[in-house]
Chain A
């Protein structure tokens, strides 16, 4: 089956710093989503981005489908950005999302 790899596995930042999270996937996909799982376990939708670039406030994401990777950029990080960031992909027409192992981000004040 398709493999989804996220890097780095863990990241510690000082408040105000910028960061880039990466998601590599091993096969073509028709759906890619980025989520933030907060400390209470809720998965919050960040981006639905099978291709191209999107921005939402301090966050932006880019997916290069032909090269099978996606990047999530966090600028001017805040302590509330702490948590686990997941990339998930849907292989063609299957419906189900395959998740990576996540990047655990800690932002220190």
Chain B
């Protein structure tokens, strides 16, 4: 079956522009996660959805970052007024179960964001 998909795969933005990154999780997966991966580092948690509810947004670096999953499937990560330090790969993951349960996470290919 299809895995997690993300679009666009690459995005170049001028500083100050708004961007929107899309994630299509594996069909039927309840949990959805966003991570940010800087060059040479491991991914770092941004936010977690259980169905349409955003249960944890403790990793979002500033109020310029906003995520939603209105129908409990597709999710969008929006970054307003992008800054150069936002340049990174943004990874989406989904899992069948809930936190603390069957929570094996499967990752999409990522969106590489470059802010000029």
Residues in B52-96 with C-beta less than 8 Å from chain A: 55-56, 59, 89, 91, 93
Number of residue pairs spanning A and B whose beta carbons lie under 8 angstroms apart: 64
A94 adjacent to B89 (CB under 8 Å): no
Q: Does A54 sit at the interface, judged by CB under 8 A?
A: no
Q: Does A88 sit at the interface, judged by CB under 8 A?
A: yes
Selected from A45, A95, A99, A100, the residue in CB contact (under 8 A) with B99 is A95
A93 adjacent to B106 (CB under 8 Å): no
Q: Does B42 sit at the interface, judged by CB under 8 A?
A: yes
Q: Does A58 sit at the interface, judged by CB under 8 A?
A: no
Chain B residues with Cβ below 8 Å from A56 are none
Q: Does A17 sit at the interface, judged by CB under 8 A?
A: no
Chain B residues with Cβ below 8 Å from A96 are 33, 45, 48, 56, 59, 99
Q: Does A64 sit at the interface, judged by CB under 8 A?
A: no
What is the 8 Å Cβ interface bit string for chain A, positions 49-87, against chain B (1 contact, 0 not)? 000000000000000000000000000000000000010
Bound-state Cα–Cα, A83 to B100, Å: 29
Chain B residues with Cβ below 8 Å from A31 are 103-104
Chain A residues with Cβ below 8 Å from B43 are 43, 86, 88, 97, 99
B89 adjacent to A41 (CB under 8 Å): yes
Selected from A30, A42, A95, A98, the residue in CB contact (under 8 A) with B107 is A42
Bound-state Cα–Cα, A48 to B105, Å: 9
A97 adjacent to B56 (CB under 8 Å): no
Cβ-closest 8 pairs across A and B = A95-B99, A99-B42, A93-B100, A96-B45, A43-B107, A48-B104, A95-B48, A99-B43
